[in-house]
A and B are shown apart, each in its own frame.
Chain A
C-alpha cells in the first residue's frame, strides 16, 4: 500500500489533513498486523452481518433503521483497512488532484537533495510550524502538566537529542511546564554524564555547553546595551513603528560610521599625526569660519587627502609604515565593511519582506491581524491608531473595489498622457538642476567670487548653498507632481516620489564628481599652482555635508516643525506637522552618500558624520516628540525599510564605482597627497607588489599574488559564482513550484474536508438520498472524461492486487466507484420506499464502465459509508483516539485464520449484497444506506 502521498508533504496546514494524517497512521498500524489479524476481522464481520440485515427487511421504518444500519456499516468499514483506503482514494485531493499530488512527489524526487530541505525534515518542520502533536496537546490537554512536560521533553529529545534553553524558551507553554521540562533536561544531562564515560564525549559536551552559554551571554549583553533604547521606545510608544523605523535607521547609520571612523583614524590619521609634515603656508590661522567652509586652515591638516605624505613613516624605530599603501587599504577596508553590512541587512529584510511574503496579497491579513501596534503606550496614539485602522480598512475595501473596476480607456489614455508629461517635466527639472550645478561650478563661480569680493565664506559655500536649496525645495514639487499623477495605490505614489527625489540628488552629486574628475574642467578651477583637486573635492563635500545638515536642522526641523507648532496656537485650523518618514530617510541616505564619496578625499569626514548623526538623533527626537503629530497614514514599516536599504545599497555601489574610477583611472595631483608623482593611485599597490615579488624572501607572496591576479583565477571565480547563481536560481524556481503545488494540495484537502462534512451531514440528517454528495459531481466529470478515453479496457480488479493497482494515474481515473455516483445520475427504476432500488446510470459512459466492472465477480465491492467515518473523525478528536486504540486492540486479539484475504473480502461483499432481495445479475447494486 504505497500509495499514500508522502505524509510529510501532506503535513501542511489544513485541518482535514490532520484527520487524514491520523487515519493514515491508523492504517499504517493496521498494515503492520494486517497479515495475521485482518482475516480474523473479516470473519467476525461476516457473522455480524446477518444481524444487520434484519433491520433492512422492515419496511415500516426504513429511514430510522437506515441510520442504525449505517452505523453498523460504518463500524464494518472502520474495522477494515480497505474501507478506509477506499475512502481515502475517493477524496478530491487523491483523485481529482492526484496529478498535482503526484507532481509534488515528482518535484521532490527529481529535485534530489535540493528539495530535501523543501519537504522539511521532521525536526525542521516542527521547528517552523510547531509540532502538531505538541500543539494539540497544549490546546486540548487541560490538566496533567507533568505528562505534557514529559511529552514535550521526549519530543525535543527525539528531534535533536539535546534540550537547551533556546529550545525550551520557544515552546508556547506556561512557565510551570517549562520549569518541569528544564528540570528533566537537567536530570537527563546528569544521567548522561554518569552513563557515558567517554572522555571525548564529555569534553565535547562541556565545550558545546560552555560555548552555548557564552553565545547566550553575549547576546543578552548586546541586547541590554542597546544604544538609545529608551528614546526609541518613547518614540515608538507615541508614534508607532513607522517613525520608530526612521530612528532605528538613523541609529544603524550611526553605529556603522563608528567602526569606519576608528578604521580610518587609526590607520591613516594617527600615523600621519606622529610625523606631521610642515605646512606650506605657516601664516594661515584658524579663524572659525573654516568650520563651515572646510577650507583655509583646514586645508593642510589631516582632514584632507592633500596633507598626507607619500613616504614612509618611521617615527617608531624599526617600523616602516607606508602611507600610500595604508591610505588605500584602509579606505578599501571601510568600503568592504559597509558593503558587508549593507548586503546583509538588505538581503535579510528583502528576503523577509518580499520573497517570503507575497507582497500585495496580504493586505487584509496584515491590516486586521497585525494592525494593532502592541507597543503603543500613549493615549493619543492609541486613539489615533483606532481611527487610523478604521479609515484604512475602509480604504482598502474601496481600493479593492477600485481594483476591480478597470479604468475606461479614455481615462487610461488621459492618465498615461498625464504621466508622460510629468515624467518629461521631471526629467527636465532634473536636467535643469544638473546643468545649473555644472554652470555654477564652471562659469559662475568665478564671477560670483568676483562680485562677492569681501565675503570669502559665501564665495566658498555658494555651490553647496545652491545644491542644498535645490534639495530642500525640489522634493516638495516632486511630491506634489507625483500626487497629481493619480496613482491607484498610495504606496506606489510613495515609491515613485522617493525614486525621483533620489535620482535628483544623485544626479547633482554626479555632476560635481564628474566635474572634479574631468581634467579639462579641473584646470579651469584649479589654475593656481600647488592646488590639489582631491583636497578641493574633499572640501566641496565637506561643505555639502555641513550645509545640508544645517538646512535640515534650520528649515526642515526648526521652521517646518517648530514654527508651525507656534503658528498652530494662533491659527487653530493649522495642524501640527506630520513627521514625514520618507523625506527624512531620504535625507539620511543623501548624507550617507556624501560621506561615502568624500571619505577617500577626506578621511576624517566620518568623524563629522558621527557628530552629525549624534546631534541629529536628539534634535529629531525632541522635535518629533514636541512638534509633530502622528501620521494619519499607516506606515508599512517592514517593506519600506527594505526599500530604503535598497536605495542605500544602490547609492553605495555608485559611490564605490566612482571611487574605483578615481583610484584606477584618474591621475592624482602632481604635488600633493600620498600618490603624488604616480600615474594612478593604484600604482602604489602595484609597485609594492613588484617590490615584494622581486624580493627573494617573499617569493611565496609573489607566487600567491601571481595566481590571484592571473586571468585563469579570475575566470574560474566568475565561473564558480555564476554556476552558484544559476543553481540557486533554479532551486528557488523549484521551491516556487513546490510551494504552488502545496498550496493547491491544501485547497484540495480543504475540499476533502467539505466533502466529508457534506457526507456526514447527509448521513446524520437521513437525507442522503435526496442530497447525496454534491461535492462528488466535479469528481464525476473527471471520471467521465477518463472513462471516455479508456472505456474499452476493463478496469482492473480492485481487490486482487491492492498494492499494485493504483500505481498509474490512468488506473485510478478509470475506475468508477459506485460510491461516487450522485442520485441525480441514476435512473430510479423503483420508487417505492422500503425496497431496495435497482438503478441504472443515466450517463452512458458511466453505465458502460459500471457494466464492465460488474462483469467481474471479484469486483463486487464492499459497501461502506465514507462520510460517517471521516465526518466523525473530523468532528471530535476522541474518534481519532478511538480509532487508534482500536487498532491496538486489534493487534491484541490475533488468532490466526488461514484463508486468503481476497476470499474473505469476496465473501463479505457477497454476504452484504445478499442482504437485499435483488437480482444478482443486475449491473450495479446500491444500497440506500450509501446515499
Chain B
C-alpha cells in the first residue's frame, strides 16, 4: 500500500509491524488518522503529543464514553499538565490493544486498567458505579437514577465476579471474569 508517501521511515514501519498486530498498510492508515488531528504539530516531530480530548474528532472515539480512561491508560506522558496526551506510539499501543488480532490476555489487562477508574489497582464498587454511569449516560434514554438500582447492580456484579469476597476485583480476578463472558472479545475492539 501507499508506503512511498508515508512519513514513517522503513525502519520505523518494520519496528511497528514487529511490535504490533498491524500490517504496514494499517500502520500508515493509522498514522494518517493520527496526523489529521494536528498536522502542524506532527510535521515538526512525529513523536509530538496530542491532547487526548482531541481524539474525539475521530469517528472511532467520538461517542466512546471511555475515551478519557483510554487516554489516561495509554498515555506515557510525564507532564502533569498533559497527563492524557498521546503520541503516535501511545496511539498505536491503544489501537493495538483494541485491534481484532490482539489476544484475550492483552485486551483483558488493558480493560482492567481502563475500568479501574480510581486507579487504586482494583476494580472496586466505586469503579463499577463509574462504569455503569458511563455506559448508561442519560441523554434521551431512560436514566438509571435510582440509587437503589445502582446499589443492586453493583452488589450483583460483585456477587458474580468477586471470587474471594473482598468486594473488589484484582487484575487476575477481573481477567478470569472476562474470560467467562464471550461478548468481551467482540465488544472490546475497534475495527480499522
Contact = CB atoms under 8 A, between A and B. Distances in A.
Contacts of A747: 163-165
A743 B186 CA distance: 27
A179 B19 contact: yes
A197 interface: no
Contacts of B165: 747, 750-751, 754
A561 interface: no
Contact of B172 (A129, A175, A352, A387): A129
Nearest to A145: B76
Given A170-B103, A375-B190, A387 B140 contact: yes
A175 B170 CA distance: 25
B175 to A, nearest CB: 6
B74 to A, nearest CB: 7
Interface in A197-247: 220-221, 223-224, 229, 232-233, 236-237, 241, 245
A372 B65 contact: yes
Interface size class of A (residues with CB under 8 A): 35 or more
Interface string A624-650: 000000000000111100000000000
Interface in A381-403: 381-383, 385-391, 393-394, 397, 400
Interface in B40-79: 59-60, 62-66, 74, 76
B166 to A, nearest CB: 6
B132 interface: yes
A14 interface: yes
Contact of A224 (B26, B76, B159): B26
Nearest to B186: A241
B164 A223 contact: no
B121 A178 contact: no
B26 to A, nearest CB: 7
Nearest to B88: A175
A638 B132 contact: no
Nearest to A17: B164
B81 interface: no
B21 interface: yes
A535 B83 CA distance: 72
Interface in A855-895: none
A174 B15 CA distance: 14
A274 B25 CA distance: 44
Interface in B88-129: 89-90, 92-93, 96-98, 100-103, 105-106, 109-111, 115, 121, 128
A130 B104 CA distance: 11
Contact of B110 (A172, A178, A232, A377): A172
Contacts of A170: 102-103, 105-106
Nearest to B20: A169
A366 B76 contact: no
Interface in A462-498: none
B187 A373 contact: yes
Most buried by B among A13, A178, A236, A397: A13
Contacts of A365: 157, 160-161, 177-178, 180-181
A379 B177 contact: no
Q: Select the residue from A220, A378, A747 with max chain B CB neighbours within 10 A.
A: A220
Nearest to A171: B106
Contacts of B176: 13, 129
A168 B19 contact: yes
A13 B172 contact: yes
Determine the main DSSP class of A at the interface with B: helix
A393 B135 CA distance: 10
B191 A393 contact: no
B153 A377 contact: no
A53 interface: no
A245 B183 CA distance: 12
Contacts of A388: 141
Interface residues of B, number: 85
A376 interface: yes
B153 to A, nearest CB: 6
B153 A382 contact: no
Contacts of A12: 172
Contact of A383 (B21, B96, B106, B141): B141
Contact of B182 (A169, A174, A638, A749): A638
Contacts of A383: 139-141
Nearest to A757: B166
Contacts of B131: 368-369
A393 B153 CA distance: 8
Nearest to A353: B182
A749 B185 CA distance: 29
A585 B20 CA distance: 35
Given A369-B178, A370-B181, A363 B60 contact: no
Residue among A170, A353, A636 having the largest count of chain B Cβ atoms under 10 Å: A170
A358 B160 CA distance: 11
A174 B76 contact: yes
A636 B185 CA distance: 12
Contacts of B74: 174
Contact of B163 (A169, A223, A746): A746
A130 B139 contact: no
Q: Which of B17, B136, B183, B184 has the most CB of A within 10 A?
A: B183
B122 to A, nearest CB: 8
A391 B142 contact: yes
A14 B170 contact: yes
A825 interface: no
Contacts of A224: 23, 25-26
A168 B18 contact: yes
Contact of A386 (B60, B105, B139): B139
A652 to B, nearest CB: 23
B66 A377 contact: no
Contacts of B143: 390
A571 to B, nearest CB: 22
B8 interface: no
A482 to B, nearest CB: 24
Contact of A223 (B18, B23, B98): B23
A356 B177 contact: no
Contacts of A372: 64-66, 134-135, 187
A374 B89 contact: no
A236 B98 CA distance: 15
A891 to B, nearest CB: 31
B89 A174 contact: yes
Contacts of B162: 750
B89 A362 contact: no
The 6 closest A-B pairs by CB, nearest first: A750-B164, A387-B141, A382-B63, A638-B182, A366-B181, A175-B89
Given A364-B161, A387-B141, 17 more contacts: A13-B170, A13-B176, A170-B105, A172-B105, A229-B191, A232-B191, A357-B181, A357-B182, A362-B180, A364-B159, A368-B153, A370-B178, A370-B188, A372-B134, A386-B141, A389-B136, A638-B183
15 contacts: A14-B173, A16-B164, A130-B109, A178-B19, A233-B191, A233-B192, A364-B153, A369-B177, A369-B184, A386-B136, A386-B137, A390-B142, A394-B144, A400-B156, A743-B163
Interface of B: 15, 17-21, 23, 25-26, 59-60, 62-66, 74, 76, 89-90, 92-93, 96-98, 100-103, 105-106, 109-111, 115, 121, 128, 131-132, 134-144, 149, 152-153, 156-157, 159-166, 170-173, 175-192
